[in-house]
Structure 1
């Protein structure tokens, strides 16, 4: 009888560990799939290295909002911070409806001779300086002069697959699909967190026994 109980307990342990192992694998696989989906469906923003006309849509929540059309005929929304030490936001397929009438503005790319205006109510002239991994925005108006940077650059000729320097967004459809795919984390991540006390000892044994204390070769 005791042997049957021991066998039953052993079976339960093996069953639980198997479920946890499969769940962990599912979580890792889901993460890899979602990252691959995002990389495959991101779209590049490309501009000619010159001046580009922009439509000023208004100032909303202390942010200047512009719409610019890139070389691929994509509508790109720029939200320039009206305060220093804030990040510039760039999106595609912006679904918000702006009711204020559009006013003309100009974006200049990699032109250091641009003269910024200081008397207008909004930045009519925006200078964009691109680098390998960052982009700086310089502009001025009655509110003052500003300079901000973002981590991903806007640079002609760089595609999404090359260092991801120029990938700024997904379409609304792809964003919705990615959101649905990420709901799987509600199950896998929850189970992974709950199983940490059981999994960590095995992870340490596996890492030190299989890969060595300094990782896999």
Structure 2
């Protein structure tokens, strides 16, 4: 039963993940966190950040993670195959039709109409991640600084998102290491004074 649920969930993600990549993330969240509760919200956010930092398509990395988390290697294989299957079927079956009729008003209108829906889905998920990041942040000034720095690098300097994620990981790791060192040092100083 769980294998069938894995297949159906990831088949739906692959089927409705129009545009791939970031447009699939809200679908992953809905299926894996809200509907089936295979992954906790905090774990999903952490693994999404890690998946963004690794090379390759985000969809297959998240499918592999959730599938493996639920049912080991077999679950990872089923999740990835189910997620990729709709794309393969559509590409084989409809690519000729789309290329033949791409300039037709109905097909062009359909493609244009779906884009605002994708933008709204991505904006809602972004807002939820910002809220969770804000609530989980001990120092609000650090969260604001990381957000501002990311926006500057992405929007004004036009840096690749992978580089921005890499810098954020390095800065976060450096800060966490420094904070742990500072905390241990203060405990050590207090212990020595007693």
Structure 1 or 2: larger strand share? 1
TM-score (norm 2): 0.23
What's the TM-score once normalised by structure 1's chain length? Answer: 0.22
